[in-house]
Amino acid sequence: MEELFQKLKQQQYRMDKQNLQIKSLQSKVNMLLPMHIKENETQTLRWKNSVVRSADRAANHSRAQTSEASKFPTGCHQLFREGERSSGVFQIQPPGSKTFRVFCDLTPGSGGWTVIQRRWDGSVDFDQLWEAYRNGFGNMSGDFWLGLDKIHQVVQEGMFRLVIEMQDWEGNSQLVQFLFRLGGEDTAYTLSLLGPVLGELENAMGDFPQLPFSTRDQDHDLKGDANCAKHLSGGWWFSTCGHVNLNGKYFRSIPRQRHERKQGIFWKTWKGRYYPLKSTTMKIQPVEPGVEP
């Protein structure tokens, strides 16, 4: 009996020892578990911070791109107000439009003008179709037409003035000016005259407050029995065919034949419709609120 009792006592001892070992292991596991969870939480926090930093970098890049995209002036007038005084070709971005190039007349004291047409040397053929007049053509260092669509984008907001400078072959010059608005292509780029033509010359635009634009392939003129762009040359805001056409053929010398001369560049109330002018420049500028046009 004594021997059996000793064996039971030894087994109990071993069991107690195993229980102690189990409790010790459990204790160690309990101590390690929070550390493991804490490490996972730290890794998660690091990941979240990394995501936030990436988002911040993306936002900063987006803001930088926006800033880069909006760095262009809205027009030549803004360039002038910001101190630019060297005339030339600049990239502009009217409100709500894409960027495009224009020639800016930034002569001191001028206020800054966007040149929309220039005829100097006859290097560019102005007898073009509707699409060309819509998009623009020529070379801004010489003869060019800015494009009806770009002109419309420039003048969408506010009131604008148009100045036309003309020169004959004897070195004489004339200037006319008027306020205007320009509709979009859905109106055939209708030119609305908003007041009298100012200058020494009488109005050659005709007594029509609104004039749609016409070309050979899109006839919107006000003369029902003729296509003025075909009869004359080039595209223009024709009322009837005989008053004004600054986009006609360029003649380096005055033709002898009268039917040729009528296809040239003319302003009827100066030199008549059969005198082709030497040069013309058309340029526009916004009228600032509170400033006399």
pLDDT of residue 207: 77
pLDDT of residue 258: 87
* Both structure tokens of 254: 């005055």
Output 149-153 pairs: Cβ under 8 A, ≥24 positions apart: 149/185, 150/100, 150/102, 151/116, 151/182, 151/189, 151/284, 152/182, 152/183, 152/184, 152/185, 152/189, 153/94, 153/96, 153/97, 153/100
pLDDT in tens, 1-40: 555 545 555 555 455 545 544 544 454 444 444 444 344 4
pLDDT in tens, 138-162: 999 999 999 999 999 999 988 999 9
The answer, yes or no, to whether residue 195 has pLDDT greater than 60, is: yes
**pLDDT confidence band for 205 (50 / 70 / 90):** confident
The answer, yes or no, to whether residue 196 has pLDDT greater than 90, is: no
Radius of gyration, CA atoms only, the chain: 39
Task: Report the alpha-carbon distance of residue 173 to residue 47 in Å, rounded.
Answer: 73
pLDDT in tens, 40-80: 444 444 544 443 444 444 444 444 444 444 589 999 999 99
Q: Which helix (H) or strand (E) holds 51?
A: helix 2-69
Task: Report the alpha-carbon distance of residue 216 to residue 283 in Å, rounded.
Answer: 24
Task: Report the alpha-carbon distance of residue 240 to residue 33 in Å, rounded.
Answer: 94
Pick the CATH number of 76-286 from 3.30.2320.50, 3.90.215.10, 3.30.70.920, 2.40.50.140: 3.90.215.10
Domain extent listing, the chain: 1-71, 76-286
User: What's the mean per-residue pLDDT of the chain?
Assistant: 82
pTM of the model: 0.75
pLDDT of residue 70: 56
Phi-psi region of 215 (alpha: psi -120 to 50; beta: other; left: phi over 0): beta
pLDDT of residue 209: 84
Backbone angles phi and psi of 148, in degrees to 5: -60, -40
Task: Report the alpha-carbon distance of residue 282 to residue 118 in Å, rounded.
Answer: 6
